Amino acid sequence: TREIHLAARPDGWPTAANFAVVDRELPAPADGQVLVRNVFMSVDPYMRPRMNDVKSYVPPFQVGEALDGGAVGEVLESRVDGLAPGDLVVHRLGWREHAVVDRPRKLEPLAGVSPSHYLGVLGTTGLTAYVGLLDIAGFRPGDAVFVSGAAGAVGSVAGQIARLRGASRVIGSAGSAEKVALLRDKLGFDAAFDYRDGHLYRQLTAAAPEGIDVYFDNVGGEHLEAAIGVLNDHGRVALCGSISAYNDAEPKPGPKNLGLAVGKRLSLRGFIVTDHAARTRDMIREVGGWLADGQLVAEETVVDGGLDAAVDAFLGMLRGENTGKMVVRF
Ligand code: NDP
């Protein structure tokens, strides 16, 4: 099989030179394992910090070893009861064409739902949006909600959950005029703006004349600072990610106005989705229901070309070439 290795650690923005395609012989599956051919793999922002040699909640990728990440595979050979050739499984060995998977999770997609959505809206992405908004930010009907990275995988779902759960106003920011139009016209956001136009605080104030009660932060940096300025008293922030900093070679200072959090009695709370797997069932029931009856749009960017397209897809996602969840199709 072929797989993609980390060839060298990047300093700042990664390039194709940081990756290498490597041929490898796979062992036959042992008891409890299946051999799969990957059909979809996920490219995600958190893979970028994993290219650095830093201690984190998830171990860094190792130079000279294969990358990994979410994938959907079709079983070719099975040594697991209840799994037969042709079945689909969700697993963690993306970035390769074939894999021998331990304790695979069988995928039985809802009718009419693409298997790729189990890497997105009905998978980790959907769970991140669901838990971040409802459990971490403690969303209540009537809240005004601001989502950054709103046209991306997590953001597009978080904003739609807020709308469907009865937000008074949903505001999104994204990196192009096309994405802003998508938020307003297709995903049902009440207001949206392009952060690349600058004047973040001014744009957010104009979009949220009565302030915001919840900020779902995918971006960090200036977005977080603007949100702190606009949050109402007792506002709540779900700290989901800080993609604006993932390619910085040196850390930048945090929000200069954090002191406002005292007088406004703000709560800012970080979380990692893997701690919240117990909510998966609730998420699939609720989000899957909205998906089935057409109230929620599962925005997705599918890149064809399999392994040969994976590195460009990943780098493109970091630059904002995706709307919704980006997956690579083999
Ligand atoms: P996205 O689909 O949102 O893709 C990343 C997007 O980030 C790009 O499309 C781009 O859109 C935007 N972006 C890139 N650079 C910047 C920048 N400097 N400022 C603002 N936006 C930028 O990815 P996900 O939905 O998978 O992830 C969104 C966030 O959620 C990330 O921070 C990620 O790390 C985090 N996350 C956290 C989890 C957790 O457990 N806490 C789990 C999963 C994700 P644009 O064109 O708008 O710039």
| Same domain assignment for residues 82 and 131 | no
Task: Flag whether 259 is in a domain.
Answer: yes
Task: Tell me the torsion sign for CA atoms 35, 43, 123, 290.
Answer: negative
| Same domain assignment for residues 66 and 14 | yes
For a ligand 1 pocket test, name from 127, 130, 154 the mutation site with the most ligand atoms within 8 angstroms of its C-beta: 154
Task: Flag whether 168 is in a domain.
Answer: yes
Question: pLDDT (tens digit, 9 = 90+) per residue, 14-44?
Answer: 999 999 999 999 999 999 999 999 999 999 9
Distance from the alpha carbon of residue 288 to the mean position of ligand 1, in angstroms: 22
CATH number at residue 168: 3.40.50.720
| Long-range contacts, stretch 62-66, CB < 8 angstroms, 24+ apart | 62/6, 63/6, 63/7, 63/8, 63/9, 64/5, 64/6, 64/7, 65/5, 65/6, 66/3, 66/4, 66/5, 66/22, 66/95, 66/96
Task: Flag whether 129 is in a domain.
Answer: yes
| Same domain assignment for residues 324 and 258 | no
Q: Give the phi and the psi of residue 23 in degrees, each rounded to 5.
A: -85, 145
> pTM of the full predicted structure?
0.98
Q: What is the per-residue pLDDT for 110?
A: 85
E strand intervals along the chain? 2-6, 19-23, 33-42, 71-78, 88-91, 98-102, 105-107, 144-147, 169-174, 191-194, 212-217, 231-239, 267-270, 300-304, 325-329
Closest ligand 1 atom to 270 CA: 41
DSSP 93: B
Question: pLDDT (tens digit, 9 = 90+) per residue, 168-198?
Answer: 999 999 999 999 999 999 999 999 999 999 9
44 Cβ below 6 A of ligand 1 = yes
State how many domains the chain has. Answer: 2
Q: Does the structure show a pLDDT above 90 at 251?
A: no
Which of 274, 289, 310 delimits the end of a domain? 274
Q: Does the structure show a pLDDT above 90 at 112?
A: no
Residue (of 248, 243, 249) closest to 319 by Cα position: 243
Average pLDDT (149-166) is 98
E strand intervals along 144-273? 144-147, 169-174, 191-194, 212-217, 231-239, 267-270
| Same domain assignment for residues 256 and 137 | yes
| Same domain assignment for residues 57 and 154 | no
Residue type, 301: T
Distance from the alpha carbon of residue 103 to the mean position of ligand 1, in angstroms: 30
153 Cβ below 6 A of ligand 1 = yes
Task: State which residues form the domain around 203.
Answer: 124-274
Q: Does the structure show a pLDDT above 90 at 253?
A: no
ipTM exceeds 0.90, yes or no: yes
The burial of 141, by beta-carbon neighbours within 10 Å (0-12 exposed, 13-18 middle, 19 or more buried), is given as exposed
175 Cβ below 6 A of ligand 1 = yes
